[in-house]
Amino acid sequence: MSFTARRRFIGTLSALGLGAFWPASAFALQPREPSRTAQGTAMHRAVHQLLDRPVVFDDPVALRILGAERVRKLARDRALHETAGSRAMRAFLVTRSRYAEDELARMYRQGTRQYIVLGAGLDTYAYRNPHGGSLRVFEVDHPSTQAWKRTQLQEQGIALPHSLTFVPVDFEKQALAIRLRQAGFNRHAPAFISWLGVTMYLTRDAVMQTLAYVAQSCARGTEIVFDFSLPDAALSEKERLARNRRAARVAKIGEPWISNFDAAELAGDLLAMGYSQAGHFGAREANELYFANRSDGLGFRGSARIMTARV
């Protein structure tokens, strides 16, 4: 998601009546403009399918949605994706997607039948949904990004399943809660929500207001999974230097990282605002669960963590 798209998606603040955190101009997106970051994330998922064995996150649709020409280019440019930085980013992106979908599978077994993908971008879960019509998927995104995705799906011959509902939301003009209700979302039944790749671009108040909304307005049993960045004090010198380099690159293209969170404090804040459970998932857990006994050295490292909170 590009910076303007992330600002547009600042935890759905304007949708919740909290738009005063940002001026309306921050939400501008050019007509039919696709999200560059959505494309980049999809590219990393596709590269993972091409280069890494065994795959941590099995997503064959990530290749199909990019199209044959883009996939051929990825294969030709293999060396670009074998750098330490590219491998580290790829490992993190596939970990957070795998973890979110593992949590969704667990929630489904417990009876949850609604899945909201906030800032869906080129997410592909709806097109490989193993539960068919018994799990409704709501893809929420800006109309421009969503229209571009739908064109891409059509061009690549990827069918739209009946279990999928697109929820285009222009956050300058529309409220997410209303648009979801119009789309058929039942807020009185539990849901699973993924909110990936957003919090580091927002103010702390914006993040906390969004999380408080979920705690206070969604049904008991609802769960949200989101990623966040740790503060400098929680990182090694090597991790800080690596993060500073990445932060400088994204700031240069107008997408500065704004917020980070202490994991234990964040979990405590979530419990205080009404969540019944909150826990974080990091490099140690990810490497034990998803990257153990690999011969290629691929693994989770760096300053990001994943939080799970249950209403």
**What pLDDT does residue 3 have?**
42
Q: Which CATH class is domain 3-16+31-310?
A: alpha beta
Q: Which of the residues in the chain have pLDDT under 70?
A: 1-37, 171-172, 253
Q: Give the single-character DSSP code of 34.
A: P
Give the CB-side neighbour count of residue 141, counting CA atoms within 13 A: 28
Tokens describing residue 4: 């303007």
**What is the per-residue pLDDT across 205-249, written as a single tens digit (0 to 9) for each?**
989 988 998 999 899 999 999 999 999 999 889 888 888 888 887
204-217 vs 263-272: helix crossing angle, rounded to 10: 40
Residue 114, helix vs strand vs coil: strand
Q: Report the C-alpha gap between 56 and 95 in whole angstroms.
A: 7
Give domain limits for the chain.
Answer: 3-16+31-310
The residue with tokens 């280019």 is: 73
Element (H, E) at 118: strand 114-118
Of 200, 178, 210, nearest in space to 19 by CA: 210
**What pLDDT does residue 171 have?**
66
Residue 253, helix vs strand vs coil: coil
**What pLDDT does residue 77 have?**
92
Tokens describing residue 115: 């899945």
**What pLDDT does residue 186 have?**
96
**What pLDDT does residue 215 have?**
94
**What pLDDT does residue 177 have?**
84
**What pLDDT does residue 35 have?**
59
**What pLDDT does residue 43 have?**
93
Length of the chain (residues): 311
